[in-house]
Structure 1
Amino acid sequence: MYFGNNATLAAAFVICRYLDTSLKNIIFHTKSGILEASKDEDLFTLVFPSREGMGCDVPEVLVKGLGKEPKELYKARDYLAVFDSEEDILNLELNMDELKKLDAFGVIVTAKGHEVDFVSRFFVPKAGIDKDPVTGSAYCTLIPYWKKQLNKNKFVSYQLSERGGILYCTDLGENVKIAGEAVAYLEAYINV
C-alpha cells in the first residue's frame, strides 16, 4: 500500500485553516484505508500502520545507485539503508537510473543525527520522484527501526532535502504517529 501523506497533510491543513478552523480531528477514507489527521496548535499529526523492515543482503545495484554501501539494509515496501553518519546521507553520489532497477517502491537512507535523533532522505525514481522533500510514509519503516536502535518510543527527526522538514515521531506498536508543521504555499482564486 502507498500512503499519500503529503496530500493528506495538505488536505487537513486546508480544511482546518480555510473551511472549519474549529476542527481538531479529521478522518480520511482513502484507497489505502482510513487515515487519521489531527491538529494541535501548529502541528498536524497523521497515524499510519507500522511497516518494519526485515534484514536483507545488499544488492549491487543499490550500492551503484547510492554511490556507497550501507552498513545495514532492511526491506519492507521500501529499502531502508542505514549509514554511519549524517554526512554520509548528505554526500551520497546518487544514480537514479540504477535505483529504478531495484525491486522495491523506494529507498530510504538514514543515520543518527547531530541535533535530532535521526536524519533521512527518500528516493522514488520509479514513481518520478527522485528526491522527496518530506515523506511521512517512509517513517512507517524508520520509526520501528529507530525504536530498536535507540530503545525509546518518541523521536525528533529531520529529512535532509533542499526544503527539509522536522518530524516528531511516536511508535505506537502496530501504528506510528508522525507530526509536523504545514505552511501555505500558494493561495489563489479560480473563476470558472
Structure 2
Amino acid sequence: MKCYVVDAFSDKIFKGNPAAICVLEEWIADDLMQKIAQENNLSETAFTVKQEDNVYALRWFTPEDEIDLCGHATLATAFVLMSFFEKELEQISFQTKSGVLIVSKKEDLYELDMPAYHLEQMNIVDEIKEAIGVCPIEVWKGRDLVCVLENEKQVNAVMINEQKVKALDGLLLHVTAKSKEYDCVTRSFAPKLGVLEDPVCGSGHCHVVPLWADKLNKTNLTAFQASRRSGTLYCRYENNRVYLAGKAVLYSINQLFI
C-alpha cells in the first residue's frame, strides 16, 4: 500500500498541515486503519475508496480515534487523487460521516465545500481561563469550543494546560481574534485526539469563519492559522456552507509493508 504525505494549506513543504493519504481498492479493517494512523502520528491519516466516477468514500483517523470531519486531509486527498489517479478531474465528491464534501480545483487552489457548525454562546467560566491562561471576551460552542480573544498577540501567546483542556466541553479548542494582516487569526488544540496543536484546522474554520463573517459583515475572508508551521485559508461563507480554499504540496510517497 502506498501512503502519500501532503502538506495542505501551503505551497511549501514543512508548512501547512501534513496529512497521510492511503488510496485503497477496498476497505481494510478499522483497527488496521487506526494502527496506521498511530504509526504515522500526524493529526490525520485519510483512507479513501473509489465508489463511482469522481465519487470517493473518505474516512479520517487521528492517532487516537476516527473523526467525523477534517478539512486539511480532505484537501490533501483531493490533491493526491487529482495529481496521481484522476488527472483529468476538476472536481471530486467525497462521501463522509459529515455528508457529501465536494472539492473543486481552481488553478493552484483546492476549494472545499463544507458544512458550517451552529454555534451557541457559552458562559466564560474559570475552567476556560485556567485552560488557556487568558480570559476570553467570548466563548462559543459547536462541535468544538471557540474562545474569542482581544487581539492576535494573545492568540500567539496562548500556552494551554493540556489536562484542563481535556476537561472542557467540545472536541477541539480554538482560540481566535481579529487580525491586522488577515481577517482573523486562529490556533487549534486537540489533546482529546492525541494532537496537542493542529497545524492548520479545516473543521475548526467551519466554526470560526461563520463567527467572523457575522462579526465583520463580509462573506469572503482570508484566515491565518498561527501555529508553528502556519497556513493560509481563503474562505467564503454562503448559505450555511463554509468554502475553504488552499494550496497543497507533496512531501513524500511511502510504501507500507502490511
What TM-score do you get using the length of structure 1 for normalisation?
Answer: 0.94
Question: Is the Cα–Cα contact under 8 Å of residues 2 and 137 in structure 1 kept in the other structure?
Answer: no
- Partner of 1:183 in structure 2? 249
User: Which runs of no fewer than 5 residues in structure 2 stay unpaired?
Assistant: 1-66
AA aligned to 2:212 is W
Q: Alignment partner of 2:203: what SS?
A: helix
The superposition leaves residues 109-139 of structure 1 with CA deviations (integer Å, 9 ceiling, x where unpaired) of 1001121111001111111111000111011
Q: Distance in 2 between matches of 1:190 and 1:50?
A: 35
The superposition leaves residues 39-71 of structure 1 with CA deviations (integer Å, 9 ceiling, x where unpaired) of 111111111111131111023221111001101
2:206 pairs with 1:148: no
User: Which runs of no fewer than 5 residues in structure 1 stay unpaired?
Assistant: none
- Partner of 1:164 in structure 2? 230
Q: Distance in 2 between matches of 1:76 and 1:121?
A: 16
Q: Paired residues, what number?
A: 192
Structure 1 residue corresponding to 2:131, chosen from 65, 85, 103: 65
Question: Is the Cα–Cα contact under 8 Å of residues 52 and 145 in structure 1 kept in the other structure?
Answer: no
Structure 1 residue corresponding to 2:111, chosen from 45, 50, 61: 45
- Partner of 2:153 in structure 1? 87
Higher strand proportion: 2
Question: Is the Cα–Cα contact under 8 Å of residues 45 and 178 in structure 1 kept in the other structure?
Answer: yes
2:124 pairs with 1:23: no
Question: Post-superposition, which runs of at least 4 consecutive aligned residues in structure 1 deviate over 3 A?
Answer: 188-192
Q: Distance in 1 between matches of 2:200 and 2:189?
A: 11
Question: Is the Cα–Cα contact under 8 Å of residues 26 and 38 in structure 1 kept in the other structure?
Answer: yes
2:205 pairs with 1:133: no
The superposition leaves residues 149-184 of structure 1 with CA deviations (integer Å, 9 ceiling, x where unpaired) of 111100001000111100000001221100011111
2:117 pairs with 1:36: no
Question: Is the Cα–Cα contact under 8 Å of residues 108 and 122 in structure 1 kept in the other structure?
Answer: yes
Q: Distance in 2 between matches of 1:121 and 1:58?
A: 19
AA aligned to 1:93 is M
**Deviation at 1:73?**
0.8
AA aligned to 1:161 is S
2:170 pairs with 1:104: yes
Q: Distance in 2 between matches of 1:54 and 1:116?
A: 25
Question: Is the Cα–Cα contact under 8 Å of residues 144 and 174 in structure 2 kept in the other structure?
Answer: yes
Higher RCO, Cα 8 Å, sep 6+: 2
Structure 2 residue corresponding to 1:173, chosen from 228, 235, 239: 239
Question: Is the Cα–Cα contact under 8 Å of residues 68 and 97 in structure 2 kept in the other structure?
Answer: no
- Partner of 2:121 in structure 1? 55
Question: Is the Cα–Cα contact under 8 Å of residues 52 and 140 in structure 1 kept in the other structure?
Answer: no
Identity of aligned residues (%): 36
AA aligned to 1:75 is K
AA aligned to 2:107 is E
AA aligned to 2:186 is S
The CA RMSD measured in Å over matched residues stands at 1.5
